[in-house]
Each structure stands twice: as structure tokens, then as C-alpha cells.
A and B are shown apart, each in its own frame.
Chain A
């Protein structure tokens, strides 16, 4: 049973009707609804196409946050083998908002690190809705440093609303932890590859996305602030999130134009959550291609290229 987003309501109605019709037919064998149901299906498909062919930035935010969208855990299960989670920052705790460890990607040993939001109430609470505390970033620093020493490429999976704004997180140095994670990503002499699969929320995301190659799913978003946060500051009205989402240029398409990301991975019609398997397979292909692009570079070149890439960002703006 799909959870429908607000703008998908007309779609929910049609798909609901088709479902009802089929249920009726199951109860009453004499009824023939095949034609009618097929007509509704066709109508639904067309509507889905219409809705998703030109999503507004705010609608993309909603799709990017869809609760049934595949999360980090799903990608690790689908694309990696021998995943061996490594836990803890060796200092205070293990933050479950960040998962990571050794794994094989198409047989190549790598270090995989990502934000995990959780998929039901219980796991969402356990993973703190994907909002990491300093321990999460420090775990990532530890794993990246290790990957650098053992020559393992780092693959990060970015999906977070942002770093957790809590009392303890601040007391234990949230800012410093994020800064160190960005610093380590820029320092290691191995390929660093990021895929933004849902929300790329501000500093909490950039800490994992300071990479040689950054890919983004078609309907993912990546922004300095949430549209709601931006609206409440600049419009003094959180309800202006549609306008803010528009102004922030947070879509994959805009970000590619700005050279902030390197590639867009297409999603199945109706978003990643409607066909998780296909989505994850496309992400797998993209990761392999990005790794291949970097495989002939030595450590010093990888570091140099990564830094230069970020130093160069901002040299082109959007066309008016």
C-alpha cells in the first residue's frame, strides 16, 4: 500500500477506485471489470507521468522525504556484500543515525558510510530520524581515516534532514565534529564518492559529500537550509516553503548546472519509492562508473583533484 503525498491525491483517488473495482470483482464472480479497471490504470499512469514530468522544487522535497523511499540500509543490502558494520567513535557512543563499515562493492573492498533514517516508528527513533550527533561524524572520521590508510575507496550515502540540534550534541561539539568530517573527506588519498539519495540537509550532508564525485538521484534535494527554515527566516513565515524551495535552487538539475554535483541518476516513474529495486540498481551502476573514472589516479592526484574541484565551485552561476 503506497503512501500518497499531498499532490498525489488525484492519483490516490483513481488508483483507489481501480482497487475497489477489482475487490468487487473478486467478491462477485459474474462481474467483468477488466476493461474498466484497465482504463483507470491507464488514466492513473498518465496522471503519474504528468505529475512527475515536471515536479516543482517543493514537490521534489516531499518526494525526497517520502517515508517509503529506499534508505541507506536498503542500498547497503542491495548493492554490497559482506557488509561488516563498524561501530562507535571510541570516545562517547555509537550513533545509529550514521551507519558504516567494511563491505564489498562488486567484489572490491570499500568503506561504506551513510545516514540512516529508519523505516518504521521504532527504527526511526533508534536512528534518530537520520539526524546525526557528533559521535556519528566522529565515527565517520574514524572510518574514513582507516580507509585512507588501507587504500579502500569510500562510498557515502547521504540522506539527512541535517545534523541533530540537541543540547548534548552541542555540548559535545557538533560543529567541530562536522568540520573534522569534511576535513577528513578532503584529506584521504583514496577515491571518495557520494550519492545523495534523498535529503542533503546542510552541514550534516556536506560532512559526507566533500567527495571526488557527487551523484544525486533525480528527485533528491541538496540545500544549505530546509525550505521551511529559509521561509521562516527570510519570509518570516514558514508556510512560504514553496517560494523558498524555488529560490534555493535545491534540485539535482539546478545543482548540476552549478557544477556542485557531477551526475544525476534517473528515478523510475513516480519516484524511487515506487520501484526501489530499479532505483538501487541504477545507483549501483553509477557508483561503479564513478569508481572506474578514478581508478587510475594515485593518492596525491585524488586529493589534489578533490580540492581543486571545490575551489572551482562558484565560477559559474545559473542562466537568468
Chain B
């Protein structure tokens, strides 16, 4: 990976280490990403015990199946954040996971592994969310942080299904554009 790592060992090298059962590599990856994974799980679940269970589950999945992470498309931090959010929503809604972690491929986005980068990004995301019309912001937040389906959001807000779908997609695109500039 091109991003310089503070400890000098790339994420990719550590993930490769997992494939040969390197427990030290697991500890290093935990130290790099556990705060992101825990923060996302806690934000969704609002309960520290449940968030800790998801944290454990996400890292054990990485340990069991390191090949699921495709370094060519997506950064490890982003990938872990996405699978954590999905797993936390599954836990919140008491449903079985429907997406295999190896099917979660994402475009190469900013990594934000360092906490300072994340704090800046958090501020930017808050700014972008704040600039959205309230109905759009709340549709996106309900979908993302509560895992509500578009029809559940439509029921709650009284808006047509099509409008809710459009708001969610448009909200994500607004975020994308903010980080492209």
C-alpha cells in the first residue's frame, strides 16, 4: 500500500501475516483499528457490551478469513468500518447477516486511520450533513445508523417511497462530492 504506516509495516503486510497465523499481526491490526470499529459499533448499538461483542466478532472474522479483504479495492480501515456498521445493524435488528464479508468491496476512499484525520473528517461530515435539508439528513441517518429500510422510513415520515430512496442516494452523493474536492 502506498500510505506510509506509522509503525512501518503496511496493513497489507499485516493481513498477509494473518494468512500464516501471525498473532502479532492481529495485535497490531487491533491496535490500529479497534477504536474505529468500536466507535461505529457503539454509535449503532448504544450499548458498550453489545459494541464489544461486535468488535470481537469483526476482528475474529478478519482472523478467520483474511483473504476476504481485497487490498486492491478499498482500504482496510474503510472496509472494517463498513462491515462493522453492517454487523452492528444486523445485531440491532436481530437478523442474520446477509452479506458475506468477502462480498464487501469498496472503492479506494480516504483511509482516515489516524485519529487526527478522523476528527477532521468527522467535522467535515457533520458540516455536510448540516447543510442537507432536514428531511434528507434524517432519511440518511435513519437508514445508516438505525438500519431502517426505505419503506420503514417512508412509514415514519409519511413521505412517498420513491422520495425516500432518492433522498438516501442523493445524500451519499453529496458526501462523496464533499470529499472529492
Say whether A associates with B.
no
Q: List residues of A whose CB falls within 8 A of some B CB.
A: none
